[in-house]
Amino acid sequence: MNNISTSPIISADGINFSFGQGELRKQILFDIKFQIQPGEVVLLMGPSGSGKTTLLTLIAGLRTLQEGQLDVLGHTLSGASQADLLALRRKIGFIFQAHNLLPYLTALQNVQVMFDLHPEVSPTEGRERAIHILQQVGLGDRMHYSISKLSGGQRQRVAVARALVCNPEIVLADEPTAALDGTSGREVVNLLQALAREQQRPILMVTHDARVVDIADRIIYMQDGRLTNNPHDAEVLTSLPGGHQ
Amino acid sequence: MSQRIPLSWLQLRHEKMKLFAAVSGVMVSVVLMWMQLGLLQALFASAVEFHGSVNGELIVIHGQYEYLLRNQPFSNRLLHRVLGSPEVLEIYPIYSEAVEWKNPWNGERRTIQCYGIDTDKSAINLPMLASQLPKLRQTDVFLYDRKARPGFGPVLDEFAKGTLIEPEINRRKMTLVGMTDLGASFGVDGNIIMSHANFLRLLSKRKPGELDFGVIKLRPGSDVLKLQAQFQAILGKEVNVLTRDELCARELVYWKRATPIGVVFTTGTFVGFFIGFIVVYQILYTDVTTHLPHFATMKAMGFSNGYLFRMVLTQSLQLAMLGFIPGSLIAGLLYTGLRAATMLPLQLEWSRGFFLLAATILMCTISGALAIRKLRTADPADVF
């Protein structure tokens, strides 16, 4: 038991990653090495183009690892099959910069549809859990609204509910506050933190937003494709929210 | 009880205009296929209406019989040879020839098919025929086909009013004494039926005892195929002894080989299929393209390619059903209208319905399967 809880859920070593081929080849990540422990809330910060999002897509199994060791939730990503990557992604709760909800579904349906990935959960139970979590994010009275009728902050709260409803083993968030004003962004981050704490979920959040650093157990800074311990190297605190890469 | 979210349907109906366009496309395609196949089948069915109605298991025709309107008579004496067999109940000689009908109301001349039958026996199984046989024994009288095309005059209406109808047929004044049903076909606009004697009076060039069809009625339980071979051997090569089905098939060979009917309507059916295929493909393809970011999101969250493929295929099946049902109803209405206008036996048949449903599903599935290829371009790495 102790053994399980102390082994890292993400462990990266010597990751290099490049886009393009030949002359046009451009290296994005250089010798990345870090670990995330169970239950940790970690922010990944750095200026635009520093490689944060690329690193996130590698961790999520959305891109093929080129070089280095990367273990996520017990899956070794080096040479992993598509089926393996798919299995990994089902254990992850995703929150995207733009909410990425399905516009043809209501708020409740957007959350409920996640149980299609978990056939072991009955439709009735799935619906109950979706309703419960929407109440937790304060949308109990708007569950049946179509996405187009919700405000930006409300949409991102639906996205938080969708990411967490199936009890993911980790939440990966990519600038979840970037499209929101200060107040809504704060609300979303608070909700995310509260729910993750309650469920003991670790969070890895890529962000530009210096206003949310207080939720973090730990901050990893990134500059020009390398991790750095010095936040000033990464000019994080001088960067403005709302940037996008 | 909660159900799983009907994702495909919710996505499909999200854009009402596109859904309407797609369903209309399938509908047009279904109507077209019904019409083409229906007409093809009706034309073929009408061509063998007489052949299929003869009251016997075996039919003797001349060896050079090509089709109803191009035939050589053969001698009645040949036919009588089979009477020696204890299995033969009756033989019915039938004469058949095109004659000229002069419309008594406007004097127009048109060709009508004339059958001469034995008035003592029911050679043809037609409604109301048996009871009217005694009437036909009079001189210069005939029965008229209620399903004849218009053009011979207001025969039905006037007859119903009790008007005496005496058209000139082959320049001989004949009297209408009753009605029967036989039906128009491709080659024939209408039919009249009369006795052998009256037939021969109309057609002086025809020799008595030179038949067109010799119908053989067998004792129930006889071995039809064995007797067919036996009679063929007895009668010799000048004539052919056919079963009723073979006779119909033989008639259809002419219409299928010598006319473009089959090709025309089969091509029409494929055109209908193709139209539906293109419309459904276009709609599903643009739909997949529109929703590509959503599909990418779903892939990123762990939905498999198979799940998304099934989603698009389900949509194609939904389009198939949504188009097939109203399309078939419209085809039914058109059939009713065309039946009145052409006198062709158009029927919404279950078997054709199942065939067309299968064709519609196939059409939509192929479209869906092709549209799915676009789905592969949804890159989940793009969502971050």
Cβ of B7 and A105 within 8 Å?
yes
Res. B292 pLDDT band, cuts 50 70 90: very high
The nearest CA of chain A is from the CA of B266 a distance in Å of 41
3-class secondary-structure state, position B203: coil
User: In this structure, is residue B213 part of a structural domain?
Assistant: yes
The verdict on B208 and B95 lying in the same domain is yes
The verdict on B340 and B227 lying in the same domain is no
Distances (CA, A) of A81 to A47, A64, B70, B151: 32, 10, 72, 76
- Distance from the Cα of residue A41 to its chain's centroid: 11
Give me the percent of chain B exceeding a pLDDT of 70.
99
Q: What's the CA angle centered on B164, arms B163 and B167, to 5 degrees?
A: 120
Return the number of CB contacts < 8 Å for A and B.
71
DSSP class of residue B82 equals G
The nearest CA of chain B is from the CA of A89 a distance in Å of 5
Domains of chain A, with CATH numbers? 1-91+170-184+195-245 (3.40.50.300), 100-167 (no CATH)
Sign of the CA dihedral with B215 first, then B220, B225, and B226 last: negative
Interface of B with A in 1-40 (CB under 8 A): 1-5, 7, 10-11, 13-14
3-class secondary-structure state, position A11: strand
Q: What's the CA angle centered on B218, arms B213 and B219, to 5 degrees?
A: 160
Residues forming beta bridges with residue A17, ordered by sequence position = A29
Question: Are residues B218 and B224 in contact, defined by beta-carbon separation less than 8 angstroms?
Answer: yes
Query: Which chain A residues are Cβ-neighbours of B384 within 8 angstroms?
Result: 53, 56-57, 60, 62, 96-97, 174
Contacting B with CB below 8 Å, chain A residues are 53, 56-57, 60, 62-63, 86-87, 89-90, 92, 94, 96-97, 100, 102-105, 109, 112-117, 122-124, 126-127, 174
pLDDT attached to residue A233? 52
Neighbours of B137 (CB within 10 A): 12
The verdict on B203 and B346 lying in the same domain is no
- Torsion from C-alpha of B54, B59, B64, B69, nearest 10 degrees: 0
The verdict on B267 and B215 lying in the same domain is no
Residue B211, H or E segment: strand B210-211
The verdict on B299 and B225 lying in the same domain is no
Distances (CA, A) of A94 to A172, B41, B301: 5, 58, 7
The verdict on B214 and B101 lying in the same domain is yes
User: In this structure, is residue B55 part of a structural domain?
Assistant: no
Q: pLDDT tens digits for B330-366?
A: 999 999 999 888 888 888 889 999 999 999 999 999 9
Average pLDDT over residues A171-184: 88
The nearest CA of chain A is from the CA of B2 a distance in Å of 5
Neighbours of A183 (CB within 10 A): 9
Give me the percent of chain A exceeding a pLDDT of 90.
67
- Tell me which residue in B4, B293, B300 faces A94 most closely, judged by beta carbons: B300
Domain that holds residue B284: 7-46+260-383
The verdict on B206 and B87 lying in the same domain is yes
Q: Which residue in this structure is represented by tokens 């089902």?
A: A90
Q: pLDDT tens digits for A135-164?
A: 999 999 999 999 999 999 999 999 999 999
Pairing of strands B88-102, B213-218: antiparallel
The verdict on B285 and B228 lying in the same domain is no
The nearest CA of chain A is from the CA of B367 a distance in Å of 22
Cβ of B300 and A62 within 8 Å?
yes
Distances (CA, A) of A85 to B267, B294, B299: 49, 19, 11
* ipTM of this predicted structure: 0.89
Q: pLDDT tens digits for B235-248?
A: 999 999 999 999 99
Neighbours of A192 (CB within 10 A): 29
pLDDT attached to residue A238? 43
Name the domain count of chain B: 2
Helices B292-301 and B305-342 meet at what angle, rounded to 10? 140
The verdict on B30 and B77 lying in the same domain is no
Average pLDDT over residues A48-65: 92
